[in-house]
Amino acid sequence: MRTERKGTDGLRRAAEVVFDDGFSERCAALVSRLVRRRAGREGAGRASLLGPGEDFAGHRPYRHGEDLRRLDWDLLARLDKPFVRVERREAGERWAIWLDRSASMGIGAPGKLQRAAECAAGLARVGLALDARVRVVLSAGAGAGARSFELRRSADWGGLLAFLQATRAEGRAGLAALCESERPGSDRLFGIGDFLDGEPRKWFVHHTRGRRLCGVQVLAPTEFAPPLGSTRLVDLEDGQRVELVVDDALLTAYEQRLESRIDAWRTAAARHGAIHVAGSSARPFEELLTPLLGD
């Protein structure tokens, strides 16, 4: 369902992105949790998205909170400064994060675009912590082409937040359009949106040897559970309005169709060795990202 019954002011707010004062701290806490989890899994020999790399690439300064087992004790003894070993996969990975900002993302409480942008920013912060080069790409807005922002160092973090806050949900182009117009050129490709504008085959055409695909499908609470009774539906992409009565039979048919669509994505992801997560925009971004990050 790409429509929602809501006042004009509510729709306007849902189409915007605003990061509160505590968002950066939440992202930092997410990274810290993942670092601790990674340390435990390395000790237990379990691989994950944040698992150990394969080839030694060099050293970098130790960051507070990292696993002490990664310290190069010989360098510490010689230089009296802590350094950790960096694996080639960790040092050289390229991440692409594709974000759907089509008009259908402009609904929800909180808005789908808001939660999707938080997921994109959280993933970018994790990528930076792993010394990956991260490129965030927005789908085309009304009268504009796709836009992107690249992060190579921690100093780029503030620029990314400003970049995301400057966008809004508009136009028809979503993830399906990005699948046709963009070439990932990355080791990992993350897609974040409502996944309502295309079929799995368009997304998984980008599954190649050496590239891992991960998708986060964000839907509004009312898309999971539409209210019963008389409802005015507004198509956010073309402005068409429809009055209908949602009864138990219609609701059941809708829920079955939605579950079938989500299941089609899950099945395709499993077939390609990818990850697909579907969740409500009412869930914190940390919960939506956790399955992608090795839990």
Summarised one tens digit per residue, pLDDT across range 175-189 is 999 998 888 889 999
Which pTM does this prediction carry? 0.78
Give the pLDDT confidence score for residue 5 in this predicted structure.
44
Listed as ranges, residues in the chain with pLDDT below 70 are: 1-13, 38-58, 65-67, 86-92, 141-146, 231-242, 244, 294-295
Cβ atoms 36, 48 nearer than 8 A: no
For the chain, domains (ranges, CATH) are 8-32+90-293 (3.40.50.410)
Cβ atoms 125, 31 nearer than 8 A: yes
User: Whose CA is closest to 215, among 96, 114, 103?
Assistant: 96
Q: State the amino acid at position 289 in one-letter form.
A: L
Give the pLDDT confidence score for residue 142 in this predicted structure.
59
Give the pLDDT confidence score for residue 78 in this predicted structure.
73
